[in-house]
Structure 1
Amino acid sequence: MKQIILITGGARSGKSKHAEKLALTLSDNPVYLATARIWDDEFKQRVLRHQRDRGPEWTNLEEEKWLSSHSLANRVILIDCVTLWCTNFFFDLQADVDKALQAVKEEFDKLVSQEATFIFVTNEIGMGATSENEIQRKFTDLQGWVNQYIAARADKVVLMVSGIPVNVKE
């Protein structure tokens, strides 16, 4: 059965851990679709730690932008995370918010056209103060619009608050 679940929240709110537990309740062999681009050594260490934390039951895929290029029909797929995915489009398109938003929406629609269960992890970066940095403000706008786009299409939305899942849409 096709289903879209969005798990959102702030940094270190427990989003990924909650998403992983959920995926494992829905499948014995879920797919972990990682969108991270390795920017520096510290970030590489984070990625390696995440990979070590996952067990052999996971099918691990790494894809920076073209998520729909993977055939995932009838699987449970955890996409972690939308924020890094958007970052890849944003920087590759020279911080053009309109082009990045269009590209992300098109790729999202292609991905979820597959008959599968999708669990998207994203960040609520707009819940903090407004940045004095123009690029950061543009990215915050992009991220907020992408989150709204996914949430409108989601069957379920969960907001993580200090490790506690709060159902927003069921």
Structure 2
Amino acid sequence: MAAITFITGGARSGKSSFAQQLAESLSERPVYLATARIWDEDFAQRVRRHQSDRDERWQTLEEEKELSKHALGNRVVLMDCVTLWLTNFFHDCDYDLEKALEQAKTEWQKFIDQEVTLIVVSNELGMGVHPENEIARKFADLQGWMNQFIARQANTVYLMVSGIPLKIKE
């Protein structure tokens, strides 16, 4: 079973850089598990910025949904991020909240059924502006429920606030 460190917080709170530093402190050859789909040029620039933050020590795997198909046993893996991973399920399920949540939970359970040190980055969407439309509200619910699901299983949970990691579960 995976040893899970869950790092959550708002946009630009320092989650990814904290997670990267943690992974580098635990392994000389960490794995970066990227879950993003590139939807537009602005997002492509964000991905390139994240890529430039990592040096040659990192192995990068790109996986939009099927995390469990990668054999990562006995590695330190940084998954960045749950939000982008859930977006792929939500989109592919035609914005059906229950179906996306069920598929994501099933895949997550298969993924963590391996001996891996897993550092997981996510977003706290519910701490921001209340979404103005139904699809955005459904996604915020999906994110919140999946965050709760992962945090319950995590060994350690951090909340990032203005670049400061606050340990809220150990």
Interval of TM-score (by shorter of Structure 1 and Structure 2): over 0.9
Calculate the TM-score normalised by the size of structure 2. 0.98
**Within 2, Cα distance between the matches of 1:2 and 1:102?**
20
Paired residue for 2:7? Answer: 7
TM-fit CA distance, 1:129:
3.0
Q: Secondary structure at the match of 1:160?
A: strand
**Within 2, Cα distance between the matches of 1:17 and 1:9?**
12
TM-fit CA distance, 1:102:
0.5
Q: Secondary structure at the match of 1:119?
A: strand
1:69 equivalent in alignment to 2:69: yes
1:19-68 Cα offsets, whole Å, 9 max, x none, are: 00000111100100000100001111111121122000001000011111
Paired residue for 2:127? Answer: 127
TM-fit CA distance, 1:77:
0.4
Q: Secondary structure at the match of 1:149?
A: helix
**Within 1, Cα distance between the matches of 2:99 and 2:47?**
28
TM-fit CA distance, 1:131:
1.7
Runs of 4 or more, structure 1, over 2 Å off, are none
Structure 1 gap segments, 5+ residues each = none
1:21 equivalent in alignment to 2:21: yes
Comparing 43-52 with 6-15, greater Cα deviation is found at 43-52
Structure 2 gap segments, 5+ residues each = none
Within 5 A, what are the aligned runs for 1:133-144? 133-144=133-144
Counterpart residue identity of residue 72, structure 1: L
Within 5 A, what are the aligned runs for 1:83-102? 83-102=83-102
Q: Secondary structure at the match of 2:39?
A: coil
Paired residue for 1:113? Answer: 113
Counterpart residue identity of residue 129, structure 2: A
**Within 2, Cα distance between the matches of 1:131 and 1:57?**
39
Query: What root-mean-square deviation, in Å, do the aligned CA atoms of Structure 1 and Structure 2 show?
Result: 0.9
- Equivalent residue pairs, number: 170
TM-fit CA distance, 1:147:
0.1
Q: Percent identity?
A: 62
Paired residue for 1:155? Answer: 155
Calculate the TM-score normalised by the size of structure 1. 0.98
